[in-house]
């Protein structure tokens, strides 16, 4: 990807992708249903490995509006879902271990590329793609610690198709966490740069 003149502006896009994916994880776990267009944005990002910009990873800034709104609430201390930041921290910790494991990273990339043609032809939300991505997460990232623990309705979390969908979207969340780190993101964004991050989010929402 090309370098940006405003790294914080790009970082908030990656964080929005992360927040948006995890909000869908929470929704699927609670209701068994995702928002189809938001789900597609997350899953499409998995296949855009060599995108030229952060915006291109998600198919444009407009597709990230739900995630940017979540970030505005978080950095503005108006967040309503207390589990979402905890889930995000767990994914960020998982990403650190994932990128240090070259063999696993290679396996994940090969698994994603193996599904690229099906995703292109049938859409990234096709049940076959969801199942394959969920299995890929289960075979790789789910073995790292800390495990990302998703709470929800036991009725839905007992269904293999729902579990596969949750895992597929977690893979998208990790993809966004990797992008955020690549763009210079760190936990200092949450501790020392809250005002700058909020201003960058609000600028992206205009």
Q: Is the pLDDT of residue 169 over 50?
A: yes
Which pLDDT value is given to residue 80? 86
Find, among 191, 135, 129, the residue nearest to 164 by Cα.
135
Find, among 138, 95, 112, the residue nearest to 46 by Cα.
112
Q: What is the pLDDT of residues 56-110, one digit of tens each?
A: 999 999 999 999 999 999 999 998 898 999 999 999 999 999 999 999 999 999 9
DSSP state of 145: S
Find, among 91, 104, 192, 191, the residue nearest to 150 by Cα.
91
Assigned token pair, 68: 């940017």
Share of the chain above pLDDT 90, in %: 92
Which CATH fold topology does 7-205 show?
Answer: YcfC-like (1.10.3890)
Q: What mean pLDDT value characterizes the chain?
A: 95
Would the CA dihedral through 103, 85, 148, 13 be positive or negative?
negative
Domain ranges in the chain are 7-205
Which pLDDT value is given to residue 5? 52
Q: Is the pLDDT of residue 167 over 90?
A: yes
Q: Is the pLDDT of residue 2 over 70?
A: no
Q: Is the pLDDT of residue 127 over 60?
A: yes
């Amino acid at each position: 990807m090309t370098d940006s003149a405003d790294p914080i502006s790009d970082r908030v896009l990656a964080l929005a992708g992360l927040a948006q994916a995890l909000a869908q994880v929470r929704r699927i776990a609670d209701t068994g249903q995702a928002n189809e267009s938001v789900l597609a944005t997350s899953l499409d990002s998995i296949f855009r490995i060599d995108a030229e910009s952060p915006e291109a990873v998600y198919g444009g800034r407009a597709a990230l509006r739900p995630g940017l709104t979540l970030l505005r609430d978080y950095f503005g201390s108006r967040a309503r879902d207390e589990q979402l930041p905890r889930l995000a921290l767990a994914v960020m910790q998982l990403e650190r271990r994932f990128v240090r494991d070259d063999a696993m990273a290679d396996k994940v990339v090969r698994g994603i590329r193996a599904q690229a043609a099906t995703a292109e032809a049938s859409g990234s939300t096709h049940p076959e793609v969801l199942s394959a991505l969920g299995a890929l997460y289960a075979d790789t990232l789910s073995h790292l610690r800390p495990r990302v623990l998703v709470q929800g309705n036991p009725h839905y979390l007992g269904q293999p198709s729902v579990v596969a969908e949750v895992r597929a979207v977690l893979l998208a969340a990790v993809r966004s966490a990797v992008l955020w780190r690549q763009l210079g993101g760190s936990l200092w964004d949450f501790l020392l740069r809250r005002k700058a991050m909020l201003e960058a989010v609000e600028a992206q929402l205009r």
